[in-house]
Structure 1
Amino acid sequence: MSEIRHIVFDIGRVLLAWDPERPYRTLIPDAARRRWFLDTVTTSAWNAEQDRGRPWAEAEALLIADYPEEEALIRAFRTHWAAMTPHLLAQTPQIMEGLVEAGHDVTMLTNFAPDTFQEALARFPVLRRPRGVTVSGEVGLIKPDPAIYALHAARFGLDPAATIFFDDSPDNIAAAAAAGWRAHLFTTPERMRADFAASGIAV
């Protein structure tokens, strides 16, 4: 097994809390209607296209054309985005920062819309600590597309076999493993620490 020389973190639900339902608990108090709205209107597939780079105005217009009576709630997805990302997660940002301070090569690979990523950087300065980041919406590719892993490795000079990666999505982990990365599904900070230790990295 080759030595780990590169560490890559996902952001959402690994470093940063992400709960799109959070503002809608107030906006749509009825649980059944709220579930219908999030599962049928502002779906994860719809939001993924913003992560791929589609402008919010275009995304909103598409939904409003199909659900004109839901216009205010559709626009609320973007206007209440900060409430969907209320805080950093416990421990993992500190783990990442400690690895940077210890001299490890740390980068991030994230599915994120370009504008909301800039907001996240402003709100959570720890996200500026790694050497760099590939933001899906800026490059027009999203995980788990194999091309985004190849792009990230090329941009930052990563040797896939010497790269450890943490993501909360099983599909993204499978794609990273297929690209030759040592990929670990993030579940808890304790599990992350154990995975680092198994790879010979003290955190």
Structure 2
Amino acid sequence: MAGFCTKLGIRPQQMLAAMEKVADSYGVDLLAPLDTPLITQEEWSAQVEAVLRADEAVEVDLSDFPARWFEGRTANEPWVGHLRRLSARGVFVGLMSNMVPAWDAHWRRVVAPEGLFKDLVMSFEVGSRKPEPGIFRVAEERTGFQPHECVLVDDIEKNCAGAREAGWHAIHYTDPARAIAELDALLGASRPE
């Protein structure tokens, strides 16, 4: 967020406050208007621009937001490499994401899902998002796994809390080495894979 806002010429706090105000107008949290989706990327961009103009007296151009957001991003190679090794060992590796429809093609250029993920559960496709219980139920139905057989690794603690409430294991991702160690310990204790 900091790097993106620097390119726009605004402070991250200004952007986050505008995003929050737009989300509040729909009665949802920060990105829920986009990733369930309640509105299109273009509508969201225009609404955030309007809030920044009205509340901060700042003019920004959020057109083509997804391409600009993902510009220059690279994969987290230690984490992706570990997921590839787990998948090669026969561990079911899936992706569950609060994904904005307009962002879908962009993240796929950073981390190609083919050969890495056995299934993708995207909020915009299933109409539920983390930490809501519905998205976890969809993943269970599609994979055939029971809740206690599933692990969510997520960088947002409230999503981890939602997974735990749904009966899943959860690892709060803060850095690759720690997440890898925690996941390996959990998988070691829960054989068969």
Work out whether the TM-score is over 0.5.
yes
2:48 maps to 1:48: no
Write the mapping of 1:12-161 to structure 2, written as runs, cut at 5 A: 20-28=1-9, 33-43=10-20, 45-53=29-37, 54-68=39-53, 70=58, 72-75=60-63, 77-83=65-71, 86-125=73-112, 127-128=113-114, 129-161=116-148
Q: Report the AA paired with residue 8 of structure 2.
A: L
Cα deviation per residue 1:55-75 (whole Å; 9 max; x = unaligned)?
A: 112212333444456553333
Does 1 or 2 have the higher relative contact order (CA < 8 Å, sep 6+)? 1
Q: Give the structure 2 partner of residue 3 of structure 1.
A: none
Distance in 1 (CA, whole Å) between partners of 2:92 and 2:60 is: 44
Cα distance, 1:158–1:77 mapped onto 2, change above 3 Å: same
Distance apart, 1:47 and its partner CA: 3.1
Unaligned runs of at least 5 residues, structure 1: 1-19
Q: Deviations over 1:105-153 (max 9, x none)?
A: 111111111221222113422x222111101122222111111111111
What do residues 130-183 of structure 1 show as CA deviations (whole Å, max 9, x unaligned)? 111101122222111111111111122121111122111111111101111111
TM-score by length of 2: 0.79
CA distance in 1, matches of 2:67, 2:106: 12
* TM-score, normalised by the number of residues in structure 1: 0.75
Distance 2:151 2:8 in 1: 40
Determine the C-alpha separation between the residues in 2 that align with 1:65 and 1:24: 16
What is the number of residues matched between the two proteins? 177
Identity %: 23
CA distance in 1, matches of 2:109, 2:8: 26
Secondary structure of the residue that 2:178 maps to in structure 1? helix
Aligned-pair RMSD on alpha carbons? 2.4
In structure 2, what is the Cα distance between the partners aligned to 1:65 and 1:23? 18
CA drift at 1:76: 6.1
What is the match of residue 175 of structure 2? 188
The amino acid across from 1:188 in the alignment is: D
Equivalence map 1:3-14=2 (5 Å): none
Instruction: Quote the Cα distance in structure 1 between the aligned partners of 2:31 and 2:102.
Output: 13
List gaps (5 residues or longer) in structure 2.
24-28
